[in-house]
Structure 1
Amino acid sequence: MNYSVISGDIVSSTSLNVEDSKFVEESLKTLLQDLKREFNVYGRIIKGDYLECVVPNPSEGLQVALAIKSFVKAIPIDIKKYTKDDNRLKQFRIHGIRLAIGYGELSRYNPEEGVIDGEAIYFAGREISGETTYNKERIVIKNTLFFASKNEDLNKNIQPLLALLDVLLSKATSRQCEVLYLKLMNNQEEEIAKQLGIGQSAVNQHSTSVGWNAIDEAVNYFKTMISK
């Protein structure tokens, strides 16, 4: 049985102060509860800024990954209170989190005991471990979304799509990411408007600005490719 396993680490987390780091960690706990409820995802947080998530329905892997990405980018951290020329914190605001989807089997998977082992988590972890920015004073981030499996044709088909989504989301505002997250969590625009306290027309405008139609098509394309 195949799974999508998502590994992710917060961009420039070491540049956040203690208060903001704790706030991010608590926010991630809320996120994992939401993902459990909507997609039956098992997730855990390691050292406060690293995520591991198992998506039982592997075709939902991209939808869950983009939900995580948009959620983190919408976390209300005010970087203006930090040193203005801190490039690392700017990268946090632009990218939020670095994510890799590993697709494959799990030889051992026991959520009750917190056991995850197998090629899927290996693929995801390998992509993230090779993309760290820890202790680099000036960082340049080219990509923050990755896909890996033992099927090279699948990898070649999906990775360019993730590169385009990466660029799209890097330009998204916090409000756009809030709307995107709620849409990826299968909420209708009317429900989103009520949750955010804004008009439905504003929700629609934010959806258009963030590129929802393209994102939705990408999610459906991923589902089709994984289901083959």
Structure 2
Amino acid sequence: MGKVAVISGDIVSSTSLVKEDRLMLNDRLKDLIFHLSVKFDTYGRVLKGDYVECVCRKPQESLAVALAIKSFVKSIEVSTGEKSSDKNRIKLFKTHGIRLAIGYGELPTFDTTNGVIDGEAIYLAGRKINEQSGRKKKRVVIKQTLFFESHEELLKEQFDPVMGLLDVLISKATARQSEVLYWKLMGLNEDEIAEKFGVSQSVVNQHSTSVGWNAIEDTVAYYNHTVKRHQS
């Protein structure tokens, strides 16, 4: 196997969600992993209910997969906490949803039967998420939640600013805008999304424009082309 991309991610402020929402989130993530495997031929799993690992056999598609995960999680509605500290953390969840790191590199051990994954790609992604995790901090400070990690310095130089800009753009999206973005990344057109939502195509187009779909689509295409060219 050549170089692959592994996406690692943990839910922001998951411990502040009520039990029912944590269970619901776990089930929704498992559904997401299945649909990503069908659309992008990925292998994914959910660990401890709030941590995601996803292997992209086609690394050029890893940004589209990561954005699909992020927009999917941001579209999920959860309860507001009773304590002020929980309310503040749940606000962080609604703003950011999930931290994600794309690790690009070798993956010599990839045994889906026994669930054993080991190598440079998963190490890079997992280490970045662990660095960003606020599990042991009383006050969670989030500066960025989307990262690209690789020992290929040229790719990092190209993609670091891309990740930062996408992160800011998606953090401003509403739950419904995030849902529209998710379905567009999954290949649905606006008429199909409108039928799914029970609204007009023009409403979907407004959400699409507000979330910056044209810029996101161009950026995903740029990432796809750049990674494919690097692999050739």
Contact 1:87 1:138 survives alignment (8 Å):
no
**Equivalent position SS for 1:43:** strand
Deviation at 1:192, TM superposition (A): 0.8
Structure-2 separation of matches of 1:16 and 1:136: 17
Question: CA offsets per residue over residues 111-136 of structure 1, 9 Å max, x none?
Answer: 12212111110111111010011143
**Equivalent position SS for 1:113:** coil
Question: CA offsets per residue over residues 133-167 of structure 1, 9 Å max, x none?
Answer: 11433222000000011111110110110100000
Structure-1 separation of matches of 2:204 and 2:131: 37
Corresponding residue of 2:200: 199
- Tell me, yes or no, if structure 1 residue 65 matches structure 2 residue 63: no
Aligned residues: 227
**TM-score, length-scaled by structure 1:** 0.97
Name the amino acid aligned to 2:82. Answer: Y
Question: CA offsets per residue over residues 57-91 of structure 1, 9 Å max, x none?
Answer: 10000000000000000012132x53345321111
Contact 1:55 1:61 survives alignment (8 Å):
yes
Q: Please give the residue correspondences for 1:185-196 in structure 2 after superposition, counting only pairs within 5 Å.
A: 185-196=186-197
Contact 1:87 1:139 survives alignment (8 Å):
no
**Equivalent position SS for 2:83:** coil
Contact 2:17 2:79 survives alignment (8 Å):
no
Name the amino acid aligned to 1:83. Answer: K
Name the amino acid aligned to 1:189. Answer: E
Structure-1 separation of matches of 2:131 and 2:149: 13
Contact 2:17 2:78 survives alignment (8 Å):
no
- Tell me, yes or no, if structure 1 residue 92 matches structure 2 residue 115: no
Corresponding residue of 2:82: 82
**Equivalent position SS for 1:112:** coil
- Tell me, yes or no, if structure 1 residue 219 matches structure 2 residue 224: no
- Tell me, yes or no, if structure 1 residue 210 matches structure 2 residue 211: yes
**Equivalent position SS for 1:45:** strand
**Equivalent position SS for 1:75:** coil
Q: How large is the Cα RMSD of the aligned pairs? A: 1.1
Corresponding residue of 1:3: 4
Structure-1 separation of matches of 2:127 and 2:226: 22
Q: Please give the residue correspondences for 1:121-140 in structure 2 after superposition, counting only pairs within 5 Å.
A: 121-140=122-141
Corresponding residue of 2:146: 145
Contact 1:193 1:199 survives alignment (8 Å):
yes
Name the amino acid aligned to 2:198. Answer: G
**Equivalent position SS for 1:78:** coil
Structure-2 separation of matches of 1:205 and 1:83: 35
Which stretches in structure 1 are left out of the alignment for 5+ residues? none
